[in-house]
């Protein structure tokens, strides 16, 4: 090694070993040590308090129905359950997330309180881990070890609370389906903490480094959105670790070693990305270029960047869905404003990169974390979603903590001294309380489906998804006439809404208007060819019209698309039984019960078929199980 490279190596070690223990614990008084450990405890308690109403929340009809209420596959941790968990479901590959949900089922059954409790505990754990991440980052950023007293712990606690009790976190915590956010977030934050420890230890930190890699695997198996971690680690290498750029450079031998360190992370992220793309493609979730042009994708991406920043600063009128309304005009006013915001913030970050190096670091990390969900790879009906900010808000929370610490230091050195410090503490306290109150109120929005979609429609009456989902709630309450009004409103907003066509057809069929219902099912399948529910409903309408052969064909198509559809098996069996094909009918009833063991309708029909076969004892057993299932 040349002398030049040796000196660079010494510079790297000096940069990451500014503190002997990396956490500012040297030379603290007993009171300061007490504050240092009290702060994370208070962070956890405040987080739990802000989200406490979630323990009274129910499952909602926003994916919870498909994932939990109608899904027997996750209910346990047996071999058949585990085998299913390690596949893609609803376009996601999240086996570790499913395993935690399977454990919830073993502990709580279908009682939602247990699921919400797990989400809440995971989120509180994330808040505590983030506290330690922030404390370490602020320690690295501070110029003097003498400044690392209780102010550091308070600032880290403030940053952790800005992250943890911000209303944008509610969707990820109070919605059981988003278990993947809080679980992957825990692995993600622990991986960062371990990486920082590895860098702090230098050559002695290899064990911490490989632990970080291993924990990253857990994050990827919980949610693929964490694939950005390798790039985030590089950003941390630039600042505050100072292992890249500056006097180290970008192409020196020490810099190359930093890049080599990322190879395991990059390989794992690439594999997870490939699986995620395949999973999304399997459910046709990714919009094609014909559906959304490249300029349109750029427009909604920049809109997302500015939208999330606005909601971070002004977290009101939050909704479960911010709907993308095609066609996208890249020159519309909201998009033009977002271009200006993004360009202005980029220019500010570049201008202040030397005075406030944390600003460009936070800005770049923000973009990197959001990139998979900004719209470049558009998936779903939303132009934005609160849950996407779960990790994207971390950098800004760190900046908030750094800002508080900087102001604290300035006030201590100013002539006003203690009064200014108390004023600063009061402002920070008001911010935390304000966020907590908003979060408490937002958690109540997610109490049940009726509250959720009433809120969504009130926020945005022009949301087709909101109108349709409100109609679903009314239909489940038996209020079909009112439900029809919401479905039709959804179709007026978006005539190409396949789900709304299907449900309008279902209401018409219930009213005996079978020919009209079939037209809506036909339109739903034109818009969405692999739509199992539309095939199932069309089959039911044909069966009511006395066309069993055509009905069976639609049940067959429904099962081709959705092999675990118990209702299609049951109704196919009914048609076969009416034709006297009892053996075939019984096979379908048994398959329906294999998929959904507590299906009262399948038990009853199987009992009837067995009675016709002259097996009254076995039939009686299924009639009994049908009665128990109804209860």
Instruction: Using CB atoms within 10 Å of the CB of residue 481, give its burial: 0 to 12 exposed, 13 to 18 middle, 19+ buried.
Output: exposed
Sequence-ordered list of residues with C-beta below 8 angstroms from that of 334, at least 6 positions apart, any chain: 303
- pLDDT, residue 145, reads 52
- pLDDT, residue 13, reads 40
Same domain, 239 and 111: yes
- Cis link prior to 327 (omega < 30° from 0)? yes
Is residue 158 assigned to a domain?
Answer: yes
- pLDDT, residue 360, reads 97
Q: The domain containing residue 36 runs over which residues? A: 3-445
| Measured distance CA(623)–CA(607) in Å, rounded | 6
Same domain, 439 and 301: yes
Same domain, 16 and 132: yes
User: What is the 3-class SS of 177-189, one letter each residue?
Assistant: HHHHHHHHHHHHH
Is residue 198 assigned to a domain?
Answer: yes
- pLDDT, residue 74, reads 94
Is residue 61 assigned to a domain?
Answer: yes
Same domain, 191 and 284: yes
- pLDDT, residue 631, reads 59
Is residue 293 assigned to a domain?
Answer: yes
**CATH code of 605's domain:** 1.25.40.10
Is residue 278 assigned to a domain?
Answer: yes
In the Cβ-directed half-sphere of 474, how many Cα atoms lie within 13 Å? 20
Query: Which string of DSSP letters, residue by residue, matches 272-328?
Result: HHHHHHHHHHHTT-BPPTTTS-HHHHHHHHHHHHHHHHHHHHS--S--S-EE--SSP
Same domain, 430 and 529: no
Same domain, 348 and 256: yes
Residue pair 131/121 in contact (Cβ under 8 Å)? The answer is: no
| Measured distance CA(235)–CA(262) in Å, rounded | 12
> What averages of pLDDT result for each successive group of 10 residues across the chain (631 residues)?
40 39 53 76 97 98 91 92 89 94 97 98 99 95 66 94 98 98 99 96 88 98 96 96 88 92 97 88 62 82 96 96 87 94 97 94 97 79 92 97 88 65 86 98 98 96 96 96 97 96 97 97 96 97 96 97 93 95 95 91 94 91 85 59
Sequence-ordered list of residues with C-beta below 8 angstroms from that of 411, at least 6 positions apart, any chain: 417, 420, 421, 423, 424
User: What is the 3-class SS of 341-400, one letter each residue?
Assistant: HHHHHHHHHHHCCCCCCHHHHHHHHHHHHHHHHCCCCCECCEEECHHHHHHHCHHHHHHH
Instruction: Using CB atoms within 10 Å of the CB of residue 77, give its burial: 0 to 12 exposed, 13 to 18 middle, 19+ buried.
Output: middle
Q: Helix or strand or coil: residue 535?
A: helix
Q: Helix or strand or coil: residue 28?
A: coil
pTM to 2 decimal places: 0.90
| Measured distance CA(143)–CA(339) in Å, rounded | 36
Residue pair 581/613 in contact (Cβ under 8 Å)? The answer is: no
- Extended strands (E) in 65-108: none
Is residue 294 assigned to a domain?
Answer: yes
Residue pair 500/487 in contact (Cβ under 8 Å)? The answer is: yes
Query: Residue 81: in which H helix or E strand, if any?
Result: helix 79-85
Is residue 453 assigned to a domain?
Answer: no
- pLDDT, residue 67, reads 93
- pLDDT, residue 3, reads 42
| Measured distance CA(95)–CA(452) in Å, rounded | 28
Same domain, 409 and 555: no
Query: Which string of DSSP letters, residue by residue, matches 430-496?
Result: HHHHHHHHHHHHHHHHTSSHHHHHHHHHHH-TT-HHHHHHHHHHHHHTT-HHHHHHHHHHHHHH-TT
Instruction: Using CB atoms within 10 Å of the CB of residue 398, give its burial: 0 to 12 exposed, 13 to 18 middle, 19+ buried.
Output: buried
Same domain, 511 and 441: no
Sequence-ordered list of residues with C-beta below 8 angstroms from that of 423, at least 6 positions apart, any chain: 411
CA angle 154, 155, 161 (to 5 degrees): 90
Same domain, 535 and 390: no
Alpha-carbon radius of gyration of the chain:
28
Same domain, 270 and 406: yes
Residue 625 backbone zone (phi > 0: left; psi -120 to 50: alpha; other: beta): alpha
Is residue 214 assigned to a domain?
Answer: yes
Query: Which string of DSSP letters, residue by residue, matches 119-162?
Result: HHHHHHHHHHHHHHHHHHHHHHH-S-GGG-SHHHHHHHHHHHHH
Which residue from 173, 171, 211, 170 is spatially nearest to 190, judged by alpha carbons?
A: 211
Same domain, 432 and 540: no
**Secondary structure tally for the chain: helices H, strands E:** 30, 2
Same domain, 43 and 142: yes
Q: How many domains does the chain have?
A: 2
């Amino acid at each position: 090694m040349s002398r030049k490279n040796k000196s660079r190596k010494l510079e790297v070690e000096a940069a990451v070993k500014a503190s002997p223990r990396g956490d500012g614990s040297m030379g603290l008084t007993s009171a300061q040590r007490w504050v240092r450990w009290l702060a994370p405890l208070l962070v956890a308690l405040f987080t739990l308090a802000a989200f406490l109403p979630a323990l009274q929340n129910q499952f909602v009809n926003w994916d919870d129905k498909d994932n939990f209420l109608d899904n027997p596959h996750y209910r346990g941790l047996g071999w058949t359950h585990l085998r299913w968990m390690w596949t893609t479901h609803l376009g996601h590959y999240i086996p570790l997330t499913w395993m935690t949900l399977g454990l919830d089922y073993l502990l709580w059954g279908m009682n939602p309180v247990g699921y919400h409790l797990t989400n809440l505990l995971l989120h509180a754990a994330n808040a505590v881990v983030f506290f330690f991440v922030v404390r370490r980052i602020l320690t690295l950023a501070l110029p003097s070890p003498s400044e690392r007293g209780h102010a550091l712990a308070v600032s880290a606690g403030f940053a952790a609370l800005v992250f943890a009790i911000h209303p944008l976190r509610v969707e990820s915590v109070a919605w059981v389906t988003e278990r993947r956010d809080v679980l992957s977030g825990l692995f993600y934050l622990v991986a960062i903490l371990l990486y920082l420890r590895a860098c702090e230890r230098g050559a002695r930190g290899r064990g911490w480094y490989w632990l970080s890699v291993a924990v990253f695997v857990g994050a990827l198996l919980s949610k693929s959105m964490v694939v950005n971690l390798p790039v985030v680690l590089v950003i941390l290498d630039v600042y505050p670790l100072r292992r890249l750029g500056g006097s180290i450079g970008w192409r020196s031998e020490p810099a190359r070693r930093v890049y080599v360190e990322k190879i395991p992370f990059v390989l794992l992220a690439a594999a997870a990305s490939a699986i995620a793309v395949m999973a999304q493609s399997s459910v046709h979730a990714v919009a094609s270029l014909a559906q959304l042009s490249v300029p349109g994708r750029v427009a909604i991406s920049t809109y997302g960047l500015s939208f999330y920043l606005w909601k971070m600063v002004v977290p009101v009128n939050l909704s479960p869905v911010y709907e993308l309304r095609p066609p996208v005009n890249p020159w519309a006013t909201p998009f033009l404003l977002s271009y200006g915001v993004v360009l202005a913030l980029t220019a500010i970050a570049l201008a202040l990169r030397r005075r406030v190096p944390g600003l460009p670091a936070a800005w770049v990390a923000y973009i990197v974390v959001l990139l998979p969900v900004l719209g470049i790879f558009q998936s779903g009906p939303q132009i934005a979603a609160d849950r996407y900010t779960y990790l994207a808000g971390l950098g800004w929370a760190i900046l908030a903590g750094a800002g508080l610490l900087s102001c604290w230091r300035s006030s201590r050195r100013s002539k006003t001294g203690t009064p200014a410090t108390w004023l600063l503490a009061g402002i920070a306290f008001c911010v935390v309380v304000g966020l907590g109150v908003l979060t408490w109120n937002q958690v109540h929005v997610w109490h049940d489906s009726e509250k959720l979609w009433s809120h969504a429609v009130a926020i945005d009456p022009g949301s087709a998804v909101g109108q349709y989902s409100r109609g679903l709630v009314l239909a489940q309450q038996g209020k079909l006439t009112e439900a029809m009004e919401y479905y039709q409103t959804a179709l007026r907003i978006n005539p190409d809404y396949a789900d709304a066509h299907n449900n309008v057809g279902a209401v018409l069929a219930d009213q005996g208007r079978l020919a009209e219902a079939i037209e809506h099912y036909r339109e739903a399948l034109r818009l969405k060819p692999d739509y199992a529910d539309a095939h199932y409903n069309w089959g039911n309408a044909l069966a009511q019209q006395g066309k069993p052969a055509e009905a069976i064909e639609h049940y067959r198509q429904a099962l081709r698309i959705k092999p675990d559809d118990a209702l299609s098996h049951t109704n196919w069996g009914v048609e076969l039984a009416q034709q006297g094909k009892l053996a075939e009918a019984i096979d379908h009833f048994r398959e329906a019960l294999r998929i959904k063991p507590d299906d009262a309708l399948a038990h009853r029909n199987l009992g009837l078929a067995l009675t016709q076969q002259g097996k009254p004892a076995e039939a009686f057993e299924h009639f009994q199980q049908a009665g128990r299932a109804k209860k």
